[in-house]
Chain A
């Protein structure tokens, strides 16, 4: 069964809007609704569920360290988000429209 928590829904909304973001950008754009301690676990879970996919950013030639991971929504993630957003309209027609 497909499930979507409030945090997952927020992450999907941000990713659908921005196409590709990394963890700290998601935290920054969520206006404090996401925390840096929990966002990565949520992102890992969403990747397991198939809602998002990720790739490693190509590191700049002069900088060292670990390459950052960029996340983008999958087709399934977009469909789940759409269904999640549309559900209230079907459940409560007089309030949703």
Chain B
């Protein structure tokens, strides 16, 4: 004879261990069957159906609460050294990002010596959004190995570092999708006005404002432009490729912090080296990343590679190397357990 919940019990038995089945799942189903049998005995057909439904919902809630409780216990049983490890990784990443930003902004500041200090600082503010998507991956890639060097890294620490990297990816995406195009356009207008004012006879020297380029269009505008080019049969032209490349590169660059954090974690969890060696390895990886990015860009613009492949090539390469490191090298077990 079949009883309500038999099928659910068989499924649950595949997922949960014996103790959970005995203490949590079993009582739910036993009470459901007893209540259902009583309703059937009294001829209450609709009540029995309702009991069956309520019992199934209760079982689902039990499974969800049990899973939640298990996850809460995992959080509360965390390693006391997890927090300092994550804090160190974040600290190093923030410092590396700041240094990278300064290193990229300084030439921009020094280049326009003919402008006043106030104008140069204002123009610098417009350049900051374009440096964020480049500085964040550098910060993550250098900061994570330097911060976690020599520590025994728990799965939880790795998860937190990846979650922070995901946050950086989202910030990078938001910057590139909406803030960067507006900042680029504003920079162009402001710079044109500043040069007109600074150069004698600048009105004649500086040309009239140009239509917005690929870096001044939002993602939606780029997508619209790509569709228009495709509809007009211009998708293979140079400018169409440029717009398509800008679109795909923004998505791919936004994922860079996450992919590079994964690479840094694979490096630091498998390789026992000093901070300098890890820093050199991270810098090497970063240079390779940008080498692939620019080589892919050149190949795509020359028509040798599909645009999307060229944009995603660096991420795919770094991800492949990270997986290879995790597979080929044994887990580092003799690291110090605390900072």
Q: Footprint of B on A, CB under 8 Å?
A: 22-24, 35-38, 40-41, 43-45, 47, 54, 63-69
Cα–Cα distance between A88 and B2 once the two chains are bound (Å): 51
- List, in ascending order, chain A residues with CB within 8 A of B57's CB: 37
Cα separation A79 to B20 with both chains bound (whole Å): 27
Which of A36, A41, A64, A66 meets B26, CB within 8 Å? Answer: A66
B66 touches A22 (CB 8 A): no
Q: Given A24-B35, A44-B24, A67–B30 Cβ distance below 8 Å? A: yes
Give me 30 A-to-B residue pairs in the complex whose CB atoms sit less than 8 angstroms apart, sorted by A's number: A22-B27, A22-B31, A23-B31, A24-B31, A24-B34, A24-B35, A35-B61, A36-B54, A37-B60, A37-B61, A37-B62, A37-B65, A38-B62, A38-B65, A40-B27, A40-B28, A40-B58, A41-B65, A41-B66, A44-B24, A44-B66, A54-B23, A64-B1, A64-B3, A65-B33, A66-B9, A66-B26, A68-B30, A69-B26, A69-B30
Asked if A66 contacts B33 (CB within 8 A), the reply is yes
Contacting pair B34 A47 (CB below 8 A):
no
Q: Cβ of B246 < 8 Å from any Cβ of A?
A: no
Q: How far is the CB of A82 from chain B (nearest CB, A)?
A: 25
- Which residues of A are found within 8 Å of B29, using beta-carbon distances? 66
CA distance A31 to B62 in the complex (A): 20
**CA separation between A68 and B28, bound complex, in Å?**
9
Interface size on B, as a range, is: 20 to 34
| Shortest distance between the CB of B51 and any CB in chain A (Å) | 10
Residue of B nearest to A69 (CB): B27
Question: How far, in whole Å, are A43 and B324 apart by their CA atoms in the complex?
Answer: 46
A44 touches B1 (CB 8 A): no
A79–B143 alpha-carbon span in the complex (Å): 52
Least Cβ distance of B44 to chain A in Å? 16
Min distance, Cβ B58 to any Cβ of chain A, angstroms: 4
Distance in angstroms between the alpha carbons of A68 and B31 in the assembled complex: 6
Contacts of A44 on B, CB cut-off 8 Å?
20, 23-24, 66
Contact B30 A41 (CB under 8 A): no
Q: Which residues of B contact A36 (CB under 8 A)?
A: 28, 31, 54, 58, 61
Q: When A24-B35, A45-B69, A64-B3 are in contact, do A40 and B62 touch as well, CB less than 8 Å?
A: yes
A38: nearest chain-B partner, CB-CB: B65
Q: A4 CA to B234 CA in the complex, in Å?
A: 71
**Of listed B20, B33, B34, B66, residue having the most chain A CB within 10 A:** B34
Nearest CB of chain B from residue A19's CB, rounded to whole Å: 18
Set of chain A residues within 8 Å of B31, measured between Cβ atoms: 22-24, 36, 68
Distance from A55 Cβ to chain B, minimum over Cβ atoms (Å): 12
